[in-house]
Amino acid sequence: MIQIVEHAPQEEPYAIRTALEAAGLAVRVCRTWAGDRVPDTADDLVGLVVMGGPMAAYEDFTSRTAELALLRAALEAEVPVLGVCLGAQLLAVAAGGVARPGTGAQIGWGDVRTAAAAPADPLFAAVPDRLRVWHWHRDTMDLPAEATLLASCDRYPVQAFRVGGSAWGLQFHLEVDEAAVTSFAAAFPEDAATAPGLLESAPVELAALARCRDDVFKRFAAFVAGRAEQTRTRAFFTRRAATWEERFAGDGPRYAAAVDRMGLRPGHRVLDLGCGTGRALPALRAQVGAEGVVAGIDLTPAMLTAGVREGRDKDGQLLLADACRLPLPAGAVDGVFSAGLINHVPDPATALREWARVTASEGVLLLFHPSGRAERAARHGRPLDPDDPMAEEHLRPVLRAAGWELDCYEDASHHFLARAVRVDG
């Protein structure tokens, strides 16, 4: 779900929404101007768009605190973000920058210049050196040190920027179309009067802008869509990372018992995929000894940070990576442990093939969960699904097709365990 936050009826997402819907992305709109409540978590979001409005980012308004909290949650979980005008200023503040009054109104059509970093940016790569855009603001911002400037002009140097690898702010209104121009001028007639020819020049200006506008938002939509499953997973676990160890403090012995079933030997190389806070790493290290190699891989930075706090980095390397696209050569490891991850990957069969690729012949895979399937279903208030891909009759052929032979399957009341051996062919 893409969350769009609006602050005024005339400041809709216009071309942004068109691009998102063309990419098949579901959109949910929070109209703060109509009293809608801003979501209090980023859990179900694959993207966040925060639009402009007449209020100031440096002054309190009804939804400001909630919006900053949502933006900070999105930044922490690396949810793709696009902020426009007020939304860009709020993004800057959420990232550690400052919003402040500008030197006066900047209204109507005007040039911006792209910065040195623009050609390498996922959104701005095709934006020309100079671009005429639609301005409508009085305020500006000072960016946090880690932000990357993408566009500027003489009067207001911060016109576009990126925070990290997935959050963009636009001070200008790249999203405008003919309806937007008319709506802005009608809503703010005094401002419009300061820019003679604003409406008359719009058809020509919009025609010149359209190709670049549509390309930038198409790129944003593709960026969101291409990592949607990763974003959902990361957003879900980021908020829970700080209390993960506390919530599941009693699971350690069950993890250790499961690791024992792998039959690892000293000197073996083993991965914990979807390692979370690294609960299995001490047991894996005990199995392979000081001469072995242990690595925990997870998609969520907050989980790995929590693992470091628990001292798990002393038992193995903690790596930020996608467990479905492992940065390893074929046959690099002797074993793969994975607790619960298979339930969160978008395509289990593809994941199992990737895990088989990096595992040497006769290496072992252990799929584990500290709760059985029936127990988990009951906890979520639903019956056990006969089509559950983790049922033995479904899991066995999928494993075989991926290069694994199932040699042990246990679906007990207090744990789930499936052990498979890597086979050639």
* C-alpha span between 423 and 425 (Å, rounded): 7
In this structure, the number of other CB atoms found within 10 A of the CB of residue 420 comes to 27
pLDDT at site 95: 98
pLDDT at site 260: 97
Indicate the SS3 state at residue 133: strand
What is the overall mean pLDDT for the chain? 95
* C-alpha span between 137 and 229 (Å, rounded): 36
Q: In three state form, how does the secondary structure of 304-347 look?
A: HHHHHHCCHHHCCEEEECCCCCCCCCCCCEEEEEEECHHHCCCC
pLDDT at site 170: 98
Sign of CA dihedral 235, 241, 247, 250: positive
Q: Yes or no: say if 321 and 299 are a contact pair by the CB < 8 Å rule.
A: yes
Closest CA to 263 of 98, 407, 149, 424: 407
In this structure, the number of other CB atoms found within 10 A of the CB of residue 28 comes to 13
Sign of CA dihedral 343, 348, 354, 357: positive
Closest CA to 338 of 385, 279, 282: 279
E strands along 37-159, which residues?
Answer: 47-50, 81-84, 98-114, 130-142, 148-152
pLDDT at site 182: 95
pLDDT at site 377: 86
pLDDT at site 306: 96
* C-alpha span between 328 and 357 (Å, rounded): 9
pLDDT at site 380: 83
What is the token pair recorded at 328? 């390893």
In this structure, the number of other CB atoms found within 10 A of the CB of residue 61 comes to 15
pLDDT at site 309: 95
What is the token pair recorded at 250? 């009693």
pLDDT at site 405: 98
Q: Yes or no: say if 125 and 216 are a contact pair by the CB < 8 Å rule.
A: no
**What confidence tens digit (pLDDT) does each residue in 401-417 have?**
999 999 999 999 889 99
Residue linked to tokens 């995929």: 273
pLDDT at site 391: 94
Indicate the SS3 state at residue 2: strand
- What pTM, to 2 d.p., does this model score? 0.89
Q: Yes or no: say if 293 and 360 are a contact pair by the CB < 8 Å rule.
A: no
pLDDT at site 294: 98
pLDDT in tens, the chain (425 residues): 999 999 999 999 999 999 999 999 999 999 999 999 999 999 989 999 999 999 999 999 999 999 999 999 999 999 999 999 999 999 999 999 999 999 999 999 999 999 999 999 999 999 999 999 999 999 999 999 999 999 999 999 999 999 999 999 999 999 999 999 999 999 999 999 999 999 999 999 999 999 999 999 999 999 999 999 899 989 989 999 999 999 888 889 999 999 999 999 999 999 999 999 999 999 999 999 999 999 999 999 999 999 999 999 999 999 999 999 999 999 999 999 999 899 888 899 999 999 999 999 999 999 999 999 998 888 888 998 888 999 999 999 999 999 999 999 999 988 999 999 999 86
Q: In what order do the strands lie in the sheet with 269-273?
A: 317-320, 293-298, 269-273, 333-339, 359-369, 416-422, 404-411
**What confidence tens digit (pLDDT) does each residue in 19-74 have?**
999 999 999 999 999 999 999 999 989 999 999 999 999 999 999 999 999 999 99
What is the token pair recorded at 307? 């693992």
